[in-house]
Amino acid sequence: YHDPAVFQQTLVPSERLRSNARFSVVAPIENNPTAGRPRLGLINESGKININELPNLVIDEEEMTYVLAGGPEELLMPIDLADLILDYIDAEDPPQSRMFGGESEFNKNAPLESLDELLNIEGVTREMLYGEEANQNGMLDPGEDLNGDGVFQPGWTAYLTVHSMESNLRSDGTEKINLNQSLLTELYDAVSNEFGEEMANFVVAYRMNGPLEPDVEDDGSGQSATQSGGQSLDGATQDFFSGVAKALTGASDGSVTRGGMDLAGGAKFQFKSIYDLVGSQVEVEQDGETTTLDSPWTEDSSDMQQYLPIIMDAFSLSDETTILGRLNINQARYETLIGLPGMTSTLANYIISQQMIDSGGQPLTDQISLRATTGWLVINGQIDVPTMRQLDQFVTARGDVFRAQVIGHFDAGGPVCRLDAVIDATQQPPKVIQLRDLTDLGRGFSLPQLIQQ
């Protein structure tokens, strides 16, 4: 995020001293519009709303519109314009206009390749897209204060992207354990081999029976606990998984056992979030007796700080190698956070208040370490685990597509080169997927700004 040791004034030596060159990688300090200097690091594209992925979210049309508009307050754009944009990119068949949108033969009805394509939509202007950003350096410079308020007003390019994506592989590049895989025997063995039988028992019991909700006030039903959370599978899917399990094991009595549990019935639930593992209970028949299993992953804050990075690296919810479009809360702006379903202004304000750079411009390494997962919101007591489960499909603490603005110059003065590159690090080696030359817009940053301490 901010690492001067890596990204500041890197020397490119030459045999001739006056030809020595240096380059810096710079980015705006997202939640400080009055900052007079950049940070030294990359822009994580997951800190922005992926406009192409909005139609794929499992939310209703009004919620989708609010995500793009910046909430009901329309902090990013008017709701009618958000609807027009969503109608422009979605591929509904037959086409159906949103409340304030409009289907047209000129709509693309496909993902955007560049945000500049939004200029094809009636009512979208260059000022909306780029804001007070003549030279695209992410700061307010002389002559750019269009409304005279003294505060930098970025355009949509600071809030929207078409590139955000995360790797769904482990940090070492190997496959994660898919918690929702069809064969419970293989799931049990994979979890048991890595984490032990207690963890494997809980994970597989959850897949078979779903979680139990703690005792609630008596509703007249006489039940002390109910199944909640997770995602139940339809009957046909359950029958399929059960049949596959029996066919592969070939047990004469139809039984498939692990950890004293009969797995022949197959999975009836799926995990919707890795946080479904945290602080849950599940009821299962084990060794012929009905037993309640407590999750080995507790809600204790100190425990969570230790185990969350481990299980986030080990487990996934699918076999896909990438996850598209989740919003990185560590680099997101208030305007992108507030429209998310379940987000409150209090939580959004708290998130952006937790800076990772101190007043002297140095990285806060303890904060950066804590934020390896989105669980820091729970660990810091801002939300509970059930709320985190609901937010999880929309947010992340990761992202593996980065934007780098690179400024190069000679020690002896002379010409300056400025490039903007988008780099996809979900693949190895990372690949530059977009490159723009910004040199014609000027150097963008003074030498004192680049050699800040």
Residues 97 and 185 in one domain: no
Task: Encode pLDDT of 207-245 as tens digits.
Answer: 999 999 865 444 443 333 444 556 666 655 555 555 555
Q: How far apart are the first and last CA of the chain?
A: 16
Residues 110 and 217 in one domain: no
Vertex 338, ends 145 and 132: CA angle to 5°? 15
Is the residue at 74 inside a domain? Answer: yes
Is the residue at 243 inside a domain? Answer: yes
Is the residue at 230 inside a domain? Answer: yes
Q: What is the mean pLDDT of residues 26-39?
A: 78
Residues 276 and 201 in one domain: yes
Nearest Cα to Cα of residue 144 among 77, 135, 35, 29: 135
Residues 116 and 190 in one domain: no
Domain end residue (candidates: 294, 313, 333): 294
Domain end residue (candidates: 124, 143, 160): 124
Residues 189 and 280 in one domain: yes
Q: Taking 80 as the threshold, does the pLDDT of residue 31 lie above it?
A: no
Q: What is the pTM of this model?
A: 0.85
Residues 207 and 285 in one domain: yes
Residues 183 and 271 in one domain: yes
Q: What is the mean pLDDT of residues 25-37?
A: 79
Q: What is the mean pLDDT of residues 300-309?
A: 96
Residues 119 and 225 in one domain: no
Q: Taking 70 as the threshold, does the pLDDT of residue 439 lie above it?
A: yes
- pLDDT-based confidence at residue 449 (cuts at 50, 70, 90): confident
Q: What is the mean pLDDT of residues 389-395?
A: 97
Is the residue at 354 inside a domain? Answer: no
Domain end residue (candidates: 98, 124, 150): 124
Q: What is the mean pLDDT of residues 352-381?
A: 84
Buried b (16+ CB within 10 A) or exposed e, 184-215: beebbebbbeebeeebbbbbbbbbbbbbbbee
Q: Taking 80 as the threshold, does the pLDDT of residue 93 lie above it?
A: no
Q: What is the mean pLDDT of residues 423-448?
A: 94
Instruction: List 328's β-bridge partners, or say none.
Output: 396
Residues 188 and 113 in one domain: no
Q: What is the mean pLDDT of residues 141-158?
A: 81
Nearest Cα to Cα of residue 269 among 192, 322, 209, 320: 209
pLDDT at residue 226, as a whole number: 42
Who has greater pLDDT, 448 or 321?
321
Q: Look up tokens 């059930």; give the residue.
A: 386
Q: How many domains does the chain have?
A: 2
Residues 182 and 287 in one domain: yes
Is the residue at 59 inside a domain? Answer: yes
- Between 97-106, 216-225, 337-346, 441-450, the lowest mean confidence (pLDDT) is in 216-225
Task: Encode pLDDT of 280-292 as tens digits.
Answer: 999 999 999 999 9
Residues 186 and 285 in one domain: yes
Is the residue at 69 inside a domain? Answer: yes
> In whole numbers, what is the pLDDT of the chain averaged over residues?
88
Residues 286 and 186 in one domain: yes
Is the residue at 258 inside a domain? Answer: yes
- pLDDT-based confidence at residue 403 (cuts at 50, 70, 90): very high
pLDDT at residue 379, as a whole number: 96
pLDDT at residue 91, as a whole number: 75
Who has greater pLDDT, 37 or 297?
297
Domain that holds residue 272: 177-294
Is the residue at 99 inside a domain? Answer: yes
Q: Taking 50 as the threshold, does the pLDDT of residue 163 lie above it?
A: yes
- Specify which of 69-78, 220-229, 360-369, 438-447 reaches the highest per-range mean pLDDT: 69-78
